[in-house]
């Protein structure tokens, strides 16, 4: 058992490392022409991963950190569809769209806020530009169980979608009311059953701990109910309370949020509970059945972490389409405009809606590799790293090695000439363990309103 009081000292602002450098380092000095050159000169032998942001929601969930447009107006959604089509047309003039597509993901917002017919139109438009989806491509969609019907699921199944992720968050009614997302168990179960009826190979659920009024006892009940749904994967996220960034989070009474030691208890119980029921932990917040493809990816060294979490599709260039979408290449990140008017204005001007990004230098790529290895696999093969980058780990990361010594002393980490590896307890603090390798953290250290708390 953890000494919870002892480990709460590690609760401090820190990145989630869905990218490195993090989105805070994205800037507008990365010029449009440079981005276009990157797109047009990508290695055509590398496959593509496509991300489409469908940003609309009817109502606000107060915990949500996504970029969302709240509306119930049909014309806004139809207008967005037209701009997506135009963005794809412009993209096709700069990118070799005949490359193999190994992954496509619809994120939101609530993608299934679009009707079945609208989803069909969007999918057909995408495939008219990207004709070469591989046979085993992962095609996935985030779904709010309150906004899905059989016709929509039919359309997705027919189009080759094979994985869906349901936002569950918490089954406790008091918690649901506090976060403005009332979602009874039966609605979630009906959505899960629908997904299985239409042969979704992987049906996943998302939970969040750290929400208002959550206790260890209430979360135990949520986990027990969630287990009856028999999902293929669980994603169990630590709630990121950043009201200075997300206005809807200001509606949450901070005095009702569980303290760090309670969150640690919840997370440790979650690990014990899910592993005792046949799931294995992957990365810092995912759990999957042993036959899941995530484990095959780990064995091949292909588990990858990006803005959608953990994925099996490493070695692909990520192309982000739509409002606020983020793309990733070998040595860059690129993000579209977050403001709808600016997004539309760019497309009206015949340009991709690129707003900002960051070009990675050699140091960035070295640190990116280390941080992503730790975040994905909780360990680093030092000799493999040195072979890949031609640098001496011990001298290059002398400061980081020194900073990690307290973690070693507390049995959170083992470190020798060949490996760094987290203990089972250390996995709970993987963000803290990754931070010493982050060259940009020093400039953010004094600002408490930069990142969410690590615990």
Query: Which has the minimum average pLDDT: 36-40, 203-207, 264-268, 304-308?
Result: 304-308
Q: What pLDDT is stored for residue 452 in this prediction?
A: 64
DSSP string, 307-353: TTEEES-TT-EEEEESTT-EEEETTEEEEE-SSHHHHHHHHHTTS--
C-alpha span between 217 and 437 (Å, rounded): 36
Give the residue among 142, 87, 153 at the shortest CA–CA distance from 119.
153
215's tokens:
């206790």
* pLDDT at residue 114 is higher than 90: yes
Q: What pLDDT is stored for residue 299 in this prediction?
A: 64
Q: What pLDDT is stored for residue 124 in this prediction?
A: 98
Banded pLDDT at 71 (limits 50, 70, 90):
confident
Evaluate whether 209 touches 266 at the Cβ level (below 8 Å): yes
Euclidean distance between the first and the last CA atom of the chain, given in angstroms as a whole number: 16
Domains of the chain as residue ranges with CATH: 21-359 (3.80.30.20), 362-444 (1.10.10.920)
* pLDDT tens, position by position, 388-407: 999 999 999 999 999 999 99
Global pTM value: 0.91
Q: Is the dihedral of CA 50, 16, 434, 378 positive or negative?
A: negative
**Main-chain dihedrals φ then ψ at residue 230, nearest 5 degrees:** 55, 50
The pLDDT mean for the chain works out to: 91
Evaluate whether 302 touches 310 at the Cβ level (below 8 Å): no
Q: What pLDDT is stored for residue 407 in this prediction?
A: 92
C-alpha span between 113 and 393 (Å, rounded): 49
CA distances from 416 to 251, 296, 421 (A): 47, 27, 9
Q: Which residue has the higher pLDDT, 192 or 283?
A: 192
* pLDDT at residue 1 is higher than 60: no
* pLDDT tens, position by position, 322-359: 999 999 999 999 999 999 999 999 999 999 999 999 99
Give the residue among 149, 118, 134, 93 at the shortest CA–CA distance from 313.
134
How many Cβ atoms from other residues are within 10 Å of residue 410's Cβ? Answer: 16
**Main-chain dihedrals φ then ψ at residue 49, nearest 5 degrees:** -120, 125
* pLDDT at residue 126 is higher than 60: yes
């Amino acid at each position: 058992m953890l000494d919870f009081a002892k480990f709460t000292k590690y609760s401090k602002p820190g990145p989630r490392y869905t990218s490195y450098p993090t989105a805070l380092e994205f800037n507008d000095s990365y010029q449009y022409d440079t981005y276009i050159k990157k797109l047009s000169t990508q290695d055509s032998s590398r496959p593509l991963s496509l991300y489409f942001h469908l940003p609309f929601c009817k109502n606000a969930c107060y915990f949500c950190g996504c970029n969302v447009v709240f509306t119930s107006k049909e014309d806004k959604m139809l207008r967005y569809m037209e701009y997506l089509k135009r963005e794809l047309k412009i993209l096709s003039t700069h990118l070799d769209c005949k490359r193999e597509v190994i992954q496509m993901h619809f994120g939101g917002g609530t993608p299934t806020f679009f009707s079945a017919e609208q989803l069909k139109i969007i999918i057909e438009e995408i495939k008219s530009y990207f004709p070469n989806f591989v046979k085993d491509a992962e095609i996935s969609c985030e779904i709010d169980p309150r906004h899905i019907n059989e016709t929509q699921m039919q359309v997705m199944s027919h189009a080759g979608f094979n994985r869906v992720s349901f936002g569950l968050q918490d089954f406790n009614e008091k918690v649901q009311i506090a976060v403005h997302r009332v979602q009874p168990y039966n609605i979630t179960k009906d959505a899960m059953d629908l997904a299985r009826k239409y042969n979704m190979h992987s049906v996943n659920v998302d939970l969040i701990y750290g929400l208002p009024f959550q206790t260890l006892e209430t979360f135990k009940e949520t986990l027990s109910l969630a287990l009856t749904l028999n999902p293929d994967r669980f994603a169990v996220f630590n709630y990121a309370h950043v009201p200075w960034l997300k206005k809807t989070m200001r509606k949450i009474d901070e005095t009702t949020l569980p303290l760090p030691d309670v969150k640690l208890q919840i997370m440790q119980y979650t690990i014990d509970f899910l592993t005792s029921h046949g799931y294995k932990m992957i990365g810092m917040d995912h759990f999957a059945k042993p036959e899941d493809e995530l484990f095959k990816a780990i064995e091949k060294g292909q588990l990858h972490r990006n803005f959608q979490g953990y994925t099996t599709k490493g070695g692909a260039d990520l192309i982000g389409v739509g409002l606020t979408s983020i793309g990733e290449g070998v040595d860059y990140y690129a993000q579209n405009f977050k403001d709808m008017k600016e997004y539309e204005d760019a497309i009206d001007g015949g340009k991709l809606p690129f707003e900002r990004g960051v070009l990675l230098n050699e140091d960035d790529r070295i640190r990116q590799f280390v941080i992503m290895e730790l975040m994905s696999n909780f360990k680093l093969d030092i000799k493999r790293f040195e072979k890949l980058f031609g640098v001496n780990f011990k001298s290059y990361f002398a400061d980081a090695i020194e900073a990690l010594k307290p973690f070693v002393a507390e049995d959170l980490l083992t470190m020798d000439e060949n490996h760094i590896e987290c203990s089972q307890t250390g996995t709970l603090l993987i963000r803290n363990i990754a931070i010493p390798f982050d060259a940009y953290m020093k400039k953010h250290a004094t600002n408490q309103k930069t990142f969410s708390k690590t615990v």
